[in-house]
Structure 1
Amino acid sequence: MASGAVVSSSISSTAARRLHNQSQLSNHSISIGESLNFTDSFSLSSSTINPLITITYFNISLSQENQQLILNSYSSCRRLIEHMKQIVGIQQDETIDLIDNEGKLKELGTHFDDYASQFLTARSTYYVLKVEVDSTTGEKRYIPNFNIDQLDQKLNTILTNALNTLNRSASKPKRPTGTLRQNVVSQSLFNTTQSKTKRTSNKK
């Protein structure tokens, strides 16, 4: 069994209707990517349960309407991310991630060589985020690569709050650590010593 390939799976009309009925989007269209060679991943006739997930996104060069794509998460996080970038229309040197219905960031980029199925739950829906990294500070900013206004009100609120929290925590000033912290402590001790010296001099 060869592993590591991502499969964009087509679905039957019955399954499509089921997903259509369960969709939480105002636009219920389902975008199915081009199928890859299944032998590059695993045999559908095997006893392995397909860990299929659904991603929600829009390809800004085509439309800002939300689309859904069913993917096989039985691959490395690296391969899954690369494949999603192709579908979503994001450059390979840019960074993306997924967030779930509860507003939890999956941080796939920190698990490149692990199976994505370890971090993504089968038959769940995830939402594509673009991650902008400040080259100077290393701070991250998470931007939805889907139209959040097309989600139902409850989900819209959950994801909006989650993104606000993520972006606030990313922009918080970091506590000084290592050498920088030592310098801050040394400067503080130096200032304290100077103050004591001045007080002693005044008393004389």
Structure 2
Amino acid sequence: MSFVIVKYGDNQQKIFNPLCSNLVLLECIRRNCKCDKGVMLDLTDAEGNVKHLNENLQSYATNYLQGRTTYWLIKVEKGTGDNPNKYTLLLDDPEVHVPDLLQRLENLSKPVVRTITRKDSKWGVLSKKLNRKASTSKRPPSNPSTSPGPKKK
């Protein structure tokens, strides 16, 4: 029988059986870890990979979680528009216990800033097309003595 370890609170941990739907597992975690009802919960592994259990509530948790592995309880705040979801470790003093994981989750929570370089902009694409047309129109003239001309009768 497989199980998973969930760390939360004051570096506490509990064992859960993932052989159930994600909905049932998350509700058991909510009840046993004493989390508020309105909080959206999820789990992350040590590398900061969020498991997205909330997005697949009817699927079995064993499809997303590996047995005998430790996961950390996180709170998910849905992002709006271009803003990403915000992930918060539900662990007291995460900077002391798991600073690397905290940094990874903070990076996931930051909005992605896309910088457009000149070559990627519309003007850059347009200038490439214009340069291609200009280079094809600048072909050297053909030699009239070697090129077939109109046939004379």
Corresponding residue for residue 121 of structure 1? 66
Aligned length: 113
Corresponding residue for residue 66 of structure 1? 11
Identity %: 26
Is the 8 Å Cα contact of residues 55 and 69 (structure 1) preserved in structure 2?
A: yes
Q: Give SS of 1:117's match.
A: helix
Of the two, which has the highest radius of gyration?
Answer: 2
Corresponding residue for residue 166 of structure 1? 108
Is the 8 Å Cα contact of residues 84 and 108 (structure 2) preserved in structure 1?
A: no
Which residue, 90, 95, 98 being the options, matches 1:145? 90
1:175-190 aligned within 5 A: none
Q: Give SS of 1:158's match.
A: helix
Q: Give SS of 1:127's match.
A: strand
- Unaligned stretches of 5+ in structure 2? 115-153
* Whole-Å separation in 2 of the counterparts to 1:86 and 1:121: 22
Q: Give SS of 1:130's match.
A: strand
Amino acid at match of 1:102: E
TM-score with structure 2 setting the length: 0.66
- Unaligned stretches of 5+ in structure 1? 1-49, 59-64, 175-204
Distance of aligned partners of 1:138 and 1:85 in 2 relative to their CA distance in 1, 3 Å threshold? farther
More helix by share: 1
Amino acid at match of 2:102: T
* Whole-Å separation in 1 of the counterparts to 2:46 and 2:17: 19
* Whole-Å separation in 2 of the counterparts to 1:132 and 1:89: 18
Q: Give SS of 1:161's match.
A: helix
* Whole-Å separation in 1 of the counterparts to 2:82 and 2:38: 19
Which residue, 43, 63, 66 being the options, matches 1:98? 43
